[in-house]
Structure 1
Amino acid sequence: MKLRPFFLYTCLLISLTGCQFNQLNIDLDKKDLFNFRFDSSVPNSFEQKLAILFNTEKEAENRQNQILIQDYILNKYDIYGGSSLRALEGEINLEIHIKMIGNKQISKKLVSYKRYKSNELNPFAQDQMIKSLESEMQKELIDQIIFEVHAFEM
């Protein structure tokens, strides 16, 4: 009986090492190679989150690769259903367009979607929930940007 879990764990570890599974993170040597430029539609909170990760403040002119982030669009939709006059759910989608310019040029549209229950009686609490969801969606988009930067480097 004790051999079965051991055998399963061994097979799992062999398969993970065989497929070269690794966690994506920013290489400390390469994170200073990118110059970020932002459109006027991008909020300061998103710029600051990227500045913490990629050191966007120092020596931006000397960097060879540029990433242009533009068209920051946050849309809110209400989903109605049943006999009630209020929305049952809401959906928020956040999308940005990024353009990576280096030896080659790549344009991508990154999108994040979230749904939330809109049966909150306090409208201030619902507004705060939407703000926290937007912050969470910004973090997801930053993770997508990190993934695209790694793909661009290859």
Structure 2
Amino acid sequence: MVNTFMATAIDLGDPASPYGDIHPRYKQQVAARLSQAAINVIYGESELYWLGPVAYEAVAATNISAVVISFRNIGNLGLQIKNSVGFELLVGNSWQYNTNEIDFHLKLDLLIKCSVKMVRYNWYTAPCMPLEGIYQCAIYDQMSQLPATPFILSVQ
């Protein structure tokens, strides 16, 4: 839609908020993200980066036992991968999620051979480890420190 924008605040969960996790106290961070978006979209200042990485494709790479996820909207410094929390793979009718990075890589190797149908990221309540603090999502744009938006993609 023309002249519309959004801000991703998924990494600003606040379990200590008296209003619940849906109403975090981190209003200034959200306001900064929304104001950057408004300046970019409404006033056309395209040098302002306002939306984190957005996944657009997932491909099973059997030669390296991985699902390769492609992102757009990435700054010059590329992606920053902080951890592997938040990824899930659909095999059959069951979503498989990672408990730790090593376990996930082993599981991924087996699941690729069993044909992964879909991959999703941060598709559940409080996905970015809010008990650890803010800014704990797995994927950020390294330049802007904006988190990747949640996604669900079919694996090709």
TM-score for both structures, normalised by structure 1: 0.30
Structure number having the greater strand percentage: 1
**Higher RCO (CA-CA < 8 Å; seq separation 6+):** 2
**Structure number having the greater helix percentage:** 1
